[in-house]
Structure 1
């Protein structure tokens, strides 16, 4: 596998992103921003504090992590599928010296980097609007954490992209997998209040580790940061080979 070819695939996608950056970022920005305003500012008056911080400060790190998840998910499902099936971009790429494996890896890297970019934007919004007052210097490590979250979800989403026969089938993936993780990963309430069985299931979801890692980095507690980073790194390594193999099967018939 050539790093130069992988870079070429990634650079091609980044060129498109730069051309349509406003359209790309509008949906990824306003939805989490509205969550911060509606759920954070709106609910703080009624909920009060959680774990010694305001409700807005509690959910803000989770919104950063979930934004990275959604950015990677939508890019590597709908975006990848459109390039693969409708635009035939992958067919054009493999007609050059770039092979299928390099296309797959370039797509994975692009999905992860886009997740990190969007995560940085939301993190900046959190700081500018003062949603988390007095945050810790370790918050500077949130972008690499968002990149790691993005890589895991990019691998999951690309796996789905290589398996679904039609683009409408992504509704099942989003509804049955991504949405439950968004709700039960500790973004809006502590998982400790849920039944132990639910907590055990949540431990096996990548978003829970991403949320906890971003929260601890922003608050500077570092209780589970290394364990969560290791969990996500192992998950990324275990999952990334699947879309590489499946994309070859889908394109080379």
Structure 2
């Protein structure tokens, strides 16, 4: 049933394998710079945050941010490039690959990119910091990372489908994606928000993603409501991505 999806996924993984070293160097540099600037540079001015050292507070968020950003970027630029430059999408019209399979393939590719790059950042943070967590927390963490990556991949599919200019894609990431991530308590606790704002911030699926992922890694807890919020939002994003992509392919 998903033979076409796995074929596209394998193709994307071959492309990643050819450029894995340069990809990892580029992707590790950004979160590592942020960690050095905030986690180490500010730790003398910031005490405990939610009961843990500040460097430990931001570490899970940086790993998660790397993974979901990679999922978004891979889906967006890969789909745009195949649609506008290589015209690979046109070849799908004469194959038995369904629209759903194409979107599923991009979700799998996005998650694979995110997993590899998130792991690379996690290993670097492990090597230079005292941040540690129990291996038993990983399963609960994946319950957030998998739908979170799917959510960002679907957002990337939608952007790569409807946007024709690469500069527009860059603006969307700068104006919408990154603010949503930073507003979700990546660098500060949600309690810092005014009381009349925090309820709106908690509605954001990115808040449920980053807060839930942090709790699973640091304390081993599992906020079920947050996990369901991320999963439901990812499912709705998948339906929207399939619908929009189908409309585009029918033009």
Structure 1 and Structure 2 fold alike (TM over 0.5): yes
CA root-mean-square deviation:
1.9
Residue of structure 1 equivalent to 2:155: 156
> Distance between the aligned counterparts of 1:60 and 1:113, measured in 2?
21
Give 1:103's aligned residue: 102
**Secondary structure at the counterpart of residue 233 of structure 2:** helix
For structure 2, the 5+ residue unaligned runs are none
Q: 2:137 aligns with which of 136, 139, 145?
A: 139
Note the C-alpha offset of 1:223. Answer: 5.3
Q: How does 1:233-244 map to 2 (within 5 A)?
A: 233-244=231-242
Contact persistence 1:136–1:217 (CA under 8 A): no
Deviations 1:176-203 (A, max 9, x none): 2112112211111111121133322222
- Separation of aligned partners in 2, 1:66 and 1:26: 16
Runs of 4+, deviation exceeding 4 Å: none
In structure 2, do the counterparts of structure 1 residues 89 and 66 end up closer, same or farther at CA, with 3 Å as the change threshold? same
- Secondary structure of the residue aligned to 2:164 is coil
CA contact (8 A) 2:111 2:149 kept: yes
Corresponding residue of 2:194: 195
| Aligned counterpart, 2:15 | 16
Q: Distance in 1 between matches of 2:208 and 2:118?
A: 15
SS class of match (1:47) = coil
Task: Report the counterpart of residue 225 of structure 2 in structure 1.
Answer: 227
- Paired residue for 1:248? 246
What is the TM-score when the length of structure 2 is the normalising length?
A: 0.91
With normalisation by structure 1, the TM-score equals 0.90
* Number of corresponding residues: 250
Check whether the contact 2:143–2:227 (CA below 8 A) recurs between aligned residues: no
